[in-house]
Amino acid sequence: MLHTIIKANSYQDSIVLMLLTNKLNTIDGVHNVSVMMGTPANKDIFKTGGLYTDELEKASSNDMVIVLDIEDDSLIDQVLSEINVFLEEQTKGGGDGAGEEVAKTWDKAFELGKEAGVAVFSIPGTHAALEIERALDEGKHVFCFSDNVAIEDEKRLKEKAHEAGLLLMGPDCGTGIINGIPVAFTNAVRKGKIGVVGASGTGIQEVTTIIHKLGGGVTNAIGTGGRDLKEEIGGITLKDSIMTLEKDPNTEVIVVISKPPAPQVRDEVLNLLRSISKPAVTIFLGEKPDAHEENLYRAYTLEEAAQIAVQLLNKEAVTPRKESLNVPAHTLKPEQKYVKGLYSGGTLAYEAAMLIKEGLHLSEGEHAPEGFILKNQGHEIIDLGDDIYTQGKPHPMIDPTKRKEMLEEVGKDPETAIILLDVVLGYGSHANMAQELAPTIKELKVQAKNQGRELFVIGTVVGTDEDTQDIHEQETIMKEAGVILCDSNAQAVRMALAILEHPLTVEVKEVLPQSAVTPVSIAPSEAMLALLTNQGFINIGLRSFSEAITNHGGKVVQYDWQPIAGGNITLQKALQFLKKVELGK
Amino acid sequence: MSYKTIDEANQAVAAKIVAGSPFLLDVVPAKSVIKELNEGKVLLHAGPPITYDKMVDPIQGACVGAALFEEWCDTEEEAREMLESGEVKLIPCHHVNAVGPMGGITSANMAVLVVENKTDGNRAFCTMNEGIGAVLRFGAYSDEVITRLRWMRDTLAPVLSAALKTKEDGLNINVLIAKAIAMGDEFHQRNIAASLAFLKEMAPIIVGLTDIDQVKREEVVQFLADTDQFFLNVMMASAKAVMDGARQIQEGTIVTAMCRNGHDFGIRIAGMGDEWFTGPVNTPQGLYFSGFSESDAAPDMGDSAITETFGVGGMAMIAAPAVTRFVGSGGFYDALNTSDEMTEICIDTNPNFPVPTWDFKGICLGIDARKVVETGILPVINTGIANKKAGLGQIGAGTVTPPIDCFEKAVLAYAKKLGFTE
């Protein structure tokens, strides 16, 4: 029996509601349940999920809608009380804390956040452009976690930010460390002397945590959003960030991380890096550089980028670190030929695919279908954070359900030799992902053994000993489940390749003299330099982002954003009209 | 005067609210100050316009009580027949410079408070508080209720009138509000400090009115001492006087009245003058006297939300820690959150009335209908809850919010008036 409950005028963020849905689904006797805001798009999702009822039509975008599939009506009360408890807990989230103040309008947010240098957005992307503009108009740097912002808007807003001497980090910027304060999905990394600029979220996480593990630390990790190095955008944020770090008295080494940039943008970035005084490391994932330049080092893997940065910081020679892989003794059955990667980090998945292609000499010809980073012969690398896996569901860093499902699938496949995976720790991530995955992994290994196969699971834990999750405990749980744990994602893939008898050798790169430079004037704005010592934030959207900031001595104004006028377009237009209309005519 | 922008107009309206200076001048028969009550059988009611057949039971009951009080008939049956036949003309209090609590039923011979806003010279009227329990405003119409109304007409009103007339300018209400807000009143749910401050002003004068029979004087002082909510009606008339003064500026989006008739919730905004924008009323949420529950509650009613329009009541919840629990709130911090949230739909705070428990921030000033629509944050109204059956009186107290529709309609209408096309 389907029951529809509409809680009028009760706006909650979709991630909160998805987490809530997960929780409700664990109640005994609940066949299925979904909680969403009553937007037209969500109503369609109810339809596809088999949870559509006619009553849903009454719900507006500002109403919270619960559709319950249960036999026993008496469960409704229990569900409602669970919802109340859950939402109350959400609203507590540091709301009483001294570092956080709450606003529900821009006016109040700006008033409380006069001193805040950065506005952090995690609101639906369709609304983000307008609100980013508002923050820029108020002279705030913007960190935009929201995605689904049109590239034309990104271009326009980044140009506007640049003109105003402001940084627009994002859209779709997952990770950042500003003045040692973590923003969004970020690890707690030691403060140090390495500045990072990155167009990739988990790329930054992997590099900064390895820097931490190697004893280094980070001044700032500035995310730019994944499209910054596309031709349309031209690396506006990346270039401004590099200039800012060049003038940062606390930064000694600069690391630049990106997926393959547009060639022209890459050349501009390299020219800029050649123009600065500080040593720099670049990693353009997918590019395999065969040499370094003086003061400009070119890494192939994320791990290598972190290692070089630390070597540069310590004024050591830049050389590949010696690595002795402890490859376990093994016998794979003849049909066990394939590697399956189930990643929660997109960049990590990308890196794995890149190394596997190289190690196994896979042809470039086979284009991976949607949902795969690599699908070649029988090898598969999947980024479970891809939109097609996360539509209407939380990200795999928060919710292990999809990954467990896929683990079962690939683990039972007799042709699977090795499963690669990541456990990403840090703010925003699941509190105990290892514990979630361990039982499935154990079970799969036992099943395989019973069938006379040995199934390898190789993984890496992306995190530091300062993260809220206990990294040592996470590692122990993984090891006890039979996972071969490696220090980095690149090492994990090399381990997999070694087991498949296709070991990858790490080549020593020559250091060439620096190429010719077209002079660039490096003069970051005062506001950009102020970002380096910024402590104040306005957090627009997800409350959980506030916690990381306050935990690191930052100040947050929490702005519980809602779509203006409940998303009613006519009223929005009327309000806009009233704002501008001249009276007395 | 003309204003360049809506913000400017809103500032002007708010400035008038701050400047407003209500004085209680007198207590007189309603018909002596409201001419409409002299034109046949007429009753005033709370909220936007409504017909008898649509009135909820408690308000119909109050109409019956008023008919019996006015001696238009002798029995309830006759009264109902008369009301159903349309023989009695119904007018919203707000249309005749008045406000009425709960049902708001006011008839010609009931005594009303006369408050003058000295800034603009306009006056407002409101009946006096009858006390608690079985009272007309909650729909009770027993003999006891009628007897009390007659005593109020024949004893309370003349004594207070005589006492007030000894003061040359009347009684300065702003002073009482400022004092009582520092003593923990928010003027809708809790008026005990203000009622006592009022008694403190009046008692020595009443005692000295030696040409009035001593028994009457004693009765009046006792009644004022017993009636914790007496000041509520003074506050309502004062808020009405100030808001009517402010809405002489007919531009902008400041809410100038909020009221409800048990059927519709109505608001006015400055820029739309006398026009009401309505939506269906909600039922209050709150605490019930033992034996009652939400299923016994009548929908929201009364002109008393004029207090919230002015910036007190639910808007100033934080001022009255003693009632934060009573109004169904979780406690001090919920009250703080409520008032903090209310600042987001107001354009400023009123420096005349600092709230000690709010770190001396002034009460909310000027609800901007645009901000309500923009944010979806609704004004919080502290209210009494009537039994949905006439005659059974109050069954609890709590909070209620207006439907968002009123604000949306008002904002759209004003935008269209200024040339907005969809």
**How confident is the model over B174-200, as pLDDT tens digits?**
999 999 999 999 999 999 999 999 999
- Partner A contacted by B420 (CB < 8 A): yes
Specify the pLDDT at position B394.
Answer: 78
Q: Which run of H or of E encompasses A569?
A: helix A569-580
B44/B133 same-domain check = yes
CB-nearest partner of B4 from A104, A574, A583: A583
B75/B185 same-domain check = yes
Say which residue the tokens 């699908």 belong to: A375
The answer to whether A571 contacts B253, with C-beta atoms less than 8 Å apart, is no
Q: Return the residue in A62, A571, A579 with the most chain B beta carbons within 10 A, the one to mutate for interface testing.
A: A571
Decide the pairing of beta strands A181-184 and A175-178: antiparallel
Phi, psi of B210 (to 5 degrees): -70, -15
B262/B329 same-domain check = yes
Structural contact between residues B240 and B99, judged by C-beta atoms closer than 8 angstroms: yes
Q: What is the DSSP letter of B356?
A: G
The answer to whether B408 contacts A568, with C-beta atoms less than 8 Å apart, is yes
Rounding to the nearest 10 degrees, give the CA dihedral for residues B45, B49, B51, B57.
Answer: -50
Task: Name the band, by pLDDT with cuts 50, 70 and 90, for residue A93.
Answer: very low
CATH 3.40.50 fits A2-91, yes or no: no
B67/B151 same-domain check = yes
- Partner B contacted by A103 (CB < 8 A): yes
In chain A, residues with a C-beta closer than 8 Å to the C-beta of B344 are 103-105, 107-108
Q: Identify the domain boundary among B233, B268, B296.
A: B233
Which is the CATH superfamily of the domain at A338-499?
A: Succinyl-CoA synthetase domains (3.40.50.261)
* Inter-chain Cβ pairs, chain A and chain B, closer than 8 A: 80
**Could you read off the pLDDT of B299-334 as tens digits, one per residue?**
999 999 999 999 999 999 999 987 776 655 567 888
Instruction: Give the integer Cα–Cα distance in Å for B231 and B193.
Output: 9
The answer, yes or no, to whether residue A92 has pLDDT greater than 70, is no
- Residue B70's SS3 state is coil
- Partner A contacted by B376 (CB < 8 A): yes
CB-nearest partner of A574 from B9, B343, B411: B411
Decide the pairing of beta strands A100-103 and A555-559: parallel
Q: CATH number of the domain at A173-323+510-525, please?
A: 3.40.50.261
Domain around B79: 6-233
CATH of the domain at B137: 3.90.1710.10
Question: How far off is chain A from B376, nearest CA to CA, in Å?
Answer: 6
Q: Compute the average pLDDT of residues B360-384.
A: 94
Instruction: Give the integer Cα–Cα distance in Å for B52 and A430.
Output: 60
In a domain, B312, yes or no: yes
- Partner A contacted by B404 (CB < 8 A): yes
The answer to whether A105 contacts B404, with C-beta atoms less than 8 Å apart, is no
Question: How far off is chain A from B372, nearest CA to CA, in Å?
Answer: 8
DSSP string covering B7-67? HHHHHHHHHHHHH--EEEEEEEEHHHH-GGGGSSSEEEESSS---GGGS-HHHHHHHHHHH
The answer to whether B376 contacts A103, with C-beta atoms less than 8 Å apart, is no
B353/B263 same-domain check = yes
Largest CA distance in chain B: 68
B62/B176 same-domain check = yes
The answer, yes or no, to whether residue B381 has pLDDT greater than 90, is yes
CB-nearest partner of B370 from A103, A562, A575: A575
Within 249-288 of B, beta carbons closer than 8 Å to A belong to: 251, 253
Q: Identify the domain boundary among B233, B261, B288.
A: B233
The answer to whether A573 contacts B343, with C-beta atoms less than 8 Å apart, is no
- Residue A168's SS3 state is strand
In a domain, B119, yes or no: yes
Structural contact between residues B44 and B100, judged by C-beta atoms closer than 8 angstroms: yes
Specify the pLDDT at position A125.
Answer: 87
Instruction: Give the integer Cα–Cα distance in Å for A409 and B87.
Output: 80
DSSP string covering B278-346? EEEPPPPEEEE-TT--GGGBPPPEESTTHHHHHT-GGGGGGG-GGGTTTTT--SHHHHHHHHHHHGGGE
Show the tokens assigned to A486.
């490696």
Phi, psi of A412 (to 5 degrees): -85, -15
Structural contact between residues B100 and B93, judged by C-beta atoms closer than 8 angstroms: yes
- Partner A contacted by B133 (CB < 8 A): no
Instruction: Give the integer Cα–Cα distance in Å for A76 and B406.
Output: 32
B97/B37 same-domain check = yes
B129/B211 same-domain check = yes
- Partner B contacted by A389 (CB < 8 A): no
Q: Where are the domains of chain A?
A: 2-91, 96-144+534-585, 173-323+510-525, 338-499
Number of Cα atoms under 13 Å in the Cβ half of residue A541: 22
B368/B411 same-domain check = yes
- Characterise B389 by phi-psi region: left (phi > 0), alpha (psi -120 to 50), beta (else): beta
Instruction: Give the integer Cα–Cα distance in Å for A9 and B278.
Output: 18
Please state whether the predicted TM-score (pTM) of the whole model is above 0.80: no
The answer to whether B373 contacts A103, with C-beta atoms less than 8 Å apart, is no
The answer to whether B415 contacts A583, with C-beta atoms less than 8 Å apart, is no
- A126-140, A154-168, B221-235, B317-331: the lowest-pLDDT one: B317-331
In a domain, B40, yes or no: yes
Tell me, yes or no, if the two domains A2-91 and A338-499 fold the same way.
no
The answer to whether B6 contacts A583, with C-beta atoms less than 8 Å apart, is yes
**Which residues have a Cβ under 8 Å from the Cβ of A574 and sit 6 or more positions away?**
B411, B412, B415, B420
Structural contact between residues B345 and B375, judged by C-beta atoms closer than 8 angstroms: yes
CB-nearest partner of A583 from B5, B404, B415: B5
In a domain, B238, yes or no: no
Nearest alpha carbon to residue B172 among B164, B160, B181:
B164
The answer to whether A564 contacts B422, with C-beta atoms less than 8 Å apart, is no
In a domain, B212, yes or no: yes
Q: How many domains does chain B have?
A: 2
B262/B221 same-domain check = no
**Could you read off the pLDDT of A415-437 as tens digits, one per residue?**
999 999 999 999 989 999 999 99
Provide the CA A49 distance to its chain's centre, in angstroms.
27
Structural contact between residues A66 and A34, judged by C-beta atoms closer than 8 angstroms: yes
CB-nearest partner of A578 from B8, B253, B422: B253
Instruction: Give the integer Cα–Cα distance in Å for A138 and A132.
Output: 10
Task: Name the band, by pLDDT with cuts 50, 70 and 90, for residue B397.
Answer: confident
CB-nearest partner of B373 from A11, A575, A583: A575
- Residue A455's SS3 state is coil
3-state percent breakdown (helix, strand, coil) of chain B, nearest 5? 45, 20, 35
Which is the CATH superfamily of the domain at A96-144+534-585?
A: NAD(P)-binding Rossmann-like Domain (3.40.50.720)
Structural contact between residues B386 and B102, judged by C-beta atoms closer than 8 angstroms: yes
Taking CA atoms, what residue in B is nearest to A111?
B344
- Partner B contacted by A87 (CB < 8 A): no
B33/B141 same-domain check = yes
In chain A, residues with a C-beta closer than 8 Å to the C-beta of B340 are 102
* Surface-to-core class of residue A48, CB atoms within 10 Å of its CB (0-12 exposed, 13-18 middle, 19+ buried): exposed
CB-nearest partner of B415 from A105, A568, A577: A577
B206/B343 same-domain check = no
3-state percent breakdown (helix, strand, coil) of chain A, nearest 5? 40, 20, 40
In chain A, residues with a C-beta closer than 8 Å to the C-beta of B2 are 583-584
Find out whether the peptide bond into A171 is cis, omega within 30 degrees of 0: yes
- A59-68, A267-276, A519-528, B283-292: the lowest-pLDDT one: B283-292
- Which residue blocks in A394-465 are alpha helix, DSSP H? 401-412, 433-450
Tally helices (H) and strands (E) across chain A.
19, 24
**Could you read off the pLDDT of A54-65 as tens digits, one per residue?**
999 888 877 889
In a domain, B241, yes or no: no
Q: Identify the domain boundary among B181, B204, B233.
A: B233
